[in-house]
Structure 1
Amino acid sequence: MSDKNVVKMSPFQAGGKLIATIVILVALVLLGTQSFTIISAGHSGVVLQLGAVQPKVLQEGMHFKIPFIQTVVPMEVRVQKSEMSQTSASRDLQTVSTTIAVNHHLDAENVNKLYQQVGLEYNSRIVDPAIAESFKAVTAQYTAEELVSKRSEVSQKVKEVLHKKLSNYNIILDEINIREFTFSDEFNRAIESKQVAEQQALKSKLDLERIKIEKEQEITRAEAQAQALRLQKQEVTPELIQLRQIEAQLEAIRKWDGKLPSVTGGATPFINVGTK
C-alpha cells in the first residue's frame, strides 16, 4: 500500500475519538452499576419506579433493577428501641410519671406499605405518639395505688393496646418495659401517713390480742388453783389432820439438840406417841 492511500488523522480527530471511547466506557460502567442493587443484612428494599411504590419488596442480597427508572430505598427491619418519659393521670386524678422503653421492628414483607403511608419518619409520626396514647389510656383505668400494686397487669395492658396501634402500620411490637412509677410529693406524703396509720393500727390490734390471751391465761390459772383447793378441801379428814400433827412432832424431835428449854413452864417438845 502506498503512502498516498493512508489517511492520516489530525491530533484533533484522534483526541475526539479517545474522548468518545472514554464516554462510552463510563456510560457502560454507570449503566452496569445502575442495573444492580445490594440490600444489606437487617434491611428490606422498597422499590420505586418513577416515584411509584412497587408491590415487590427486596430482601437481603443483590438484585437487578431497571437503570434510571427504578430506585431502591433500604429500610431497617432489625429490632429498634424507643425510650421516652411519660406523664399521665390516674383514675383518682393523681399525676403519675414514668419512663417506657419499647422494642419493635418493621414487618420485613410490608415495609413498602409503611413507606407509602408514613415514610421514613415512622418513629416520630407513629411509634412515639402511640406509646403516649397507650400509656395514658391504661393508667386512667387504675388508681395511683393500683398502678403500684398491679404494675405487671398495667404493663401487659399497655402492651396489648400499643400492639394494636402499631400493627395497623405493619410495625411489630416485641416488648415493653415500664420503669418505677413516681407521683407528686403530696401523694407520697399521704401514702407515708397511711402506712404509718396502718402500722399503728396493726400494733394496737396485736396488743389487744396479747392482752386478751394473757387474761385468758390468768383466768385459766385461777380456775386451776380454785379447782385444786376444792379437791384438797374435799380430801381433808380428821385422820389426815392427826397424821399431819404427828409428822410435825416427829420433825421437831429430829431437830431437838438434847437441851431442855431454859424457860420454866410450858410443854416439852415431846408428846406421847406410843401405843395406847
Structure 2
Amino acid sequence: MKIQQFGNWQSTVLGIVLATLVILGLNSFIIINPGQAGVISILGKAKDGALLEGIHVKPPFISVIDVYDLTVQKFEVPAESSTKDLQNLSARFAINFRLDPIQVVEVRRKQGTLANIVSKIIAPQTQEAFKIAAARRTVEEAITKRSELKEDFDQALGDRLDKYGIIVLDTSVVDLAFSPEFARAVEEKQIAEQRAQRAVYVAREAEQEAQADVNRAKGRAEAQRLLAETLKAQGGQLVLQKEAIEAWKSGGAQMPKVLVMGGDLKSGVPFIYNLGNVQNQP
C-alpha cells in the first residue's frame, strides 16, 4: 500500500515538474514576425537593442515584450494656421510614416504606444510644420501654389519627426479651407474680373466693327473712283450701257416704257424715246 502511494506521489511530482518545464519553455521564447520589432523589458526596465524578426530567448515571468509594427502607418491629422496676410487657413493631412527599427527602443522609453506617438508627437508637430509652411505665403498663394506649400510642409515635418525615430514617407493634403470672409472676397474678385473681361471684349468688338465700316467705306470710295476713271476713259460709255442692261435684267428683263439712248454712238448725250408711242400706232 505504501509502495503504491509512493508511486502515485512520484507521478504527481513528475507531472508538476513537466508542466512547469512546459510553462517555462513557452515563456522563454518570443517570435517576432516580419515587419515587427520587439522591445524587451526586464523587471520594468527596457533593454537596449530591438528584437527583429525571428525567434528570441527571454527570461520567463520577469520580462515583458512590447511589439511594434514597423510597416507603413497612415493617420489623418488636422491643422490650422495664419497666412502671411493674416488670413485663417485650415487643412487636413494624411501622413504615411513608419518607425525607425534602430530607434524603436527609444520610442518605447519616451513615447510608449503607437497611440501616444500619434497624439503626443505627430499631431502637434504637424501643427507646427503647417504654421511654418503657411506663414511663408498669402492665402491666395497657398491655394494657387499648393504643391509648394506641401513641399515646405513635408520638409518641416520630416525634420521635426526624424529626431523621434519617426520616418515620414509621404503626406497628402486631404482638405484645404479658408475663412468665409476670404471666400466672399475671392467670389467678388472673380465677378469683377469677368465683368472687366466682358468690357474688354465689347470694346474690341466695337473697335473691329468700326474698322470694318472704315474698310467698307474705303472700298466703296475706291470703287467709285475706279468707275469714274473708267467712264472718263475711251469706251467708258459702253461700260455705262452695260450697267444699264444689267440693271434691267435684275428688274425682270422687261423692256422699259421709256428708253434712254445716245443720239450718237460717239457722243455721250442721251435722249428719251417713249416706246409707248410706237406700241399705240396702228
Report the TM-score, using the length of structure 1 for normalisation.
0.79
- 1:233-268 Cα shifts (integer Å, max 9, x gaps): 33433754654677799999x9769x9x9xxxxx99
2:227 aligns with 232
- Whether 1:138 and 2:133 are equivalent positions in the alignment is yes
The partner residue of 1:94 within 87, 94, 99 is 87
- Whether 1:34 and 2:39 are equivalent positions in the alignment is no
Task: For 2:25 and 2:243, locate their aligned partners in 1 and report how far apart those are by CA, in whole Å.
Answer: 133
- 1:121-169 Cα shifts (integer Å, max 9, x gaps): 2121211111121112211222121121111221222112111111111
Task: For 2:46 and 2:154, locate their aligned partners in 1 and report how far apart those are by CA, in whole Å.
Answer: 31
What does residue range 114-129 of structure 1 map to in structure 2 within 5 Å?
114-120=107-113, 121-129=116-124
Residues 24 and 242 from structure 1, CA distance in 2 versus in 1: closer, same or farther, beyond 3 angstroms? closer
Shifted more, 58-67 versus 165-174: the winner is 58-67
Residues 247 and 76 from structure 1, CA distance in 2 versus in 1: closer, same or farther, beyond 3 angstroms? closer
Task: For 2:88 and 2:175, locate their aligned partners in 1 and report how far apart those are by CA, in whole Å.
Answer: 14
SS of the residue corresponding to residue 142 of structure 1 reads coil
- Whether 1:191 and 2:186 are equivalent positions in the alignment is yes
Aligned residues: 259
SS of the residue corresponding to residue 47 of structure 2 reads strand
1:202 aligns with 197
SS of the residue corresponding to residue 86 of structure 2 reads coil
- Whether 1:62 and 2:55 are equivalent positions in the alignment is yes
Give the conservation status (yes or no) of the 8 Å contact 2:231–2:240. Answer: no
Matched to 1:63, the amino acid is: H
Residues 115 and 255 from structure 1, CA distance in 2 versus in 1: closer, same or farther, beyond 3 angstroms? closer
Give the conservation status (yes or no) of the 8 Å contact 1:135–1:158. Answer: yes
Shifted more, 24-33 versus 72-81: the winner is 24-33
**Aligned-pair CA distance for 1:68:** 4.3
Q: Report the identity percentage.
A: 31
What does residue range 201-220 of structure 1 map to in structure 2 within 5 Å?
201-220=196-215
What does residue range 172-191 of structure 1 map to in structure 2 within 5 Å?
172-191=167-186
**Aligned-pair CA distance for 1:199:** 0.1
Task: For 2:168 and 2:100, locate their aligned partners in 1 and report how far apart those are by CA, in whole Å.
Answer: 10
Residues 270 and 204 from structure 1, CA distance in 2 versus in 1: closer, same or farther, beyond 3 angstroms? closer
Task: For 2:117 and 2:255, locate their aligned partners in 1 and report how far apart those are by CA, in whole Å.
Answer: 114
SS of the residue corresponding to residue 65 of structure 2 reads strand
Matched to 1:151, the amino acid is: R
Give the conservation status (yes or no) of the 8 Å contact 1:42–1:76. Answer: yes
Q: CA RMSD in A?
A: 3.4
Task: For 2:183 and 2:165, locate their aligned partners in 1 and report how far apart those are by CA, in whole Å.
Answer: 41
Shifted more, 227-236 versus 70-79: the winner is 227-236
Task: For 1:74 and 1:34, locate their aligned partners in 2 and report how far apart those are by CA, in whole Å.
Answer: 15
**Aligned-pair CA distance for 1:195:** 0.4
1:75 aligns with 68
Matched to 2:2, the amino acid is: K
**Aligned-pair CA distance for 1:10:** 8.4
Give the conservation status (yes or no) of the 8 Å contact 2:93–2:175. Answer: no
**Structure 1 gap ranges (5+):** 1-6, 262-266
Report the TM-score, using the length of structure 2 for normalisation.
0.77
Shifted more, 23-32 versus 185-194: the winner is 23-32
Give the conservation status (yes or no) of the 8 Å contact 1:249–1:269. Answer: no
Residues 24 and 211 from structure 1, CA distance in 2 versus in 1: closer, same or farther, beyond 3 angstroms? same
Matched to 1:101, the amino acid is: A
Residues 173 and 91 from structure 1, CA distance in 2 versus in 1: closer, same or farther, beyond 3 angstroms? same
2:14 aligns with 21
**Structure 2 gap ranges (5+):** 267-282
**Aligned-pair CA distance for 1:17:** 4.3
**Aligned-pair CA distance for 1:9:** 4.8
